[in-house]
């Protein structure tokens, strides 16, 4: 895949070329996303209702937290496939206080991308913010078991995300990217991925990029199914979770 020479953030642009013969894989992947996400949403709907009630009882504010994230969608023109990078609204259960100040996280992300962040002994050696005052009591529990991520099933059904893919990141993280880092955007972002099951907060930014590129370069239905299966023990063990 050949990278375009220009990067104009945050304009929508064609970032990376892709082989059109992979249409079969992406069609099957979309079908699996719709089937699995639809079944999971129906099956977990009672849990959605319970978490919604608990959030309203725990702290004032909306049930859902929405944030602009950077993703990509596969497009084609003139017989050539490419990835179009664009922003979308991602859904999560709110785990922070209402109108939480994002500058704390923005500063940490800059340090993480630029290699200044150090793993926290308090969080088991993970690259995570420690003692974040913005996180609610219930929010800590939701994050520990990744329950705050469940509303992203709606993003999958909408087509903004896939079940498996590189994690979607906020625009202020992409603004810190250097040469080669943007290549990780050449895939539909996912709820889970290779980084989540192999690293999940315990690896550096550069190692995370390497894992995302490894996934992109070796995309297959078998790899997606394998990652989905590995996600269950990763979540249950709370490895790398906040």
Q: pLDDT digits over 47-56, tens only?
A: 999 999 999 9
Q: pLDDT digits over 104-151, tens only?
A: 888 888 888 887 877 665 555 555 666 778 899 999 999 988 999 999
Which residues lie below 8 Å from residue 178, measured CB to CB, with a gap of 6+? none
Show pLDDT as tens, one digit a residue, over the chain (242 residues). 333 333 444 444 445 555 655 788 999 999 999 999 999 999 999 999 999 999 999 999 999 999 999 999 888 777 777 888 889 999 999 999 998 888 888 888 888 888 787 766 555 555 566 677 889 999 999 998 899 999 999 999 999 999 999 999 999 999 899 888 988 998 999 999 998 888 766 788 889 999 999 999 888 999 999 999 999 888 877 654 45
- Rounded distance between C-alpha atoms, residue 183 and residue 212, angstroms: 9
Beta pairing, strands 13-18 & 80-93: antiparallel
Tokens of 56: 């309203």
- Beta-bridge partner residues of 81: 18, 76
């Amino acid at each position: 895949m050949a990278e375009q020479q220009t990067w104009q953030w945050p304009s929508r642009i064609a970032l990376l070329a892709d082989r059109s013969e992979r249409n079969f894989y992406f069609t099957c992947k979309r079908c699996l996303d719709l089937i699995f996400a639809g079944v999971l949403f129906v099956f977990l709907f009672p849990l959605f209702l319970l978490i919604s009630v608990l959030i309203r009882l725990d702290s004032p504010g909306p049930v859902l937290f929405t944030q602009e994230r950077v993703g990509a969608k596969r497009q084609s023109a003139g017989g050539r496939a490419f990835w179009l990078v664009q922003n979308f609204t991602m859904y999560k259960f709110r785990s922070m206080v209402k109108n939480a100040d994002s500058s704390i996280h923005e500063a940490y992300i800059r340090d993480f991308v630029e290699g200044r962040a150090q793993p926290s002994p308090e969080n088991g050696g993970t690259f995570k913010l420690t003692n974040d005052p913005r996180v609610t009591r219930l929010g800590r529990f939701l994050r520990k078991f990744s329950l705050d991520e469940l509303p992203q099933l709606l993003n999958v059904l909408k087509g903004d995300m896939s079940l498996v893919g590189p994690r979607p990141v906020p625009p202020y993280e992409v603004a810190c990217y250097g040469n080669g880092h943007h290549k990780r955007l050449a895939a539909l972002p996912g709820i889970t991925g290779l980084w989540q099951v192999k690293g999940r907060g315990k690896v550096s930014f550069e190692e995370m990029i390497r894992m995302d590129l490894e996934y992109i370069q070796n995309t297959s239905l078998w790899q997606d199914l394998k990652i989905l299966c590995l996600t269950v023990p990763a979540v249950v063990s709370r490895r790398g979770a906040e």
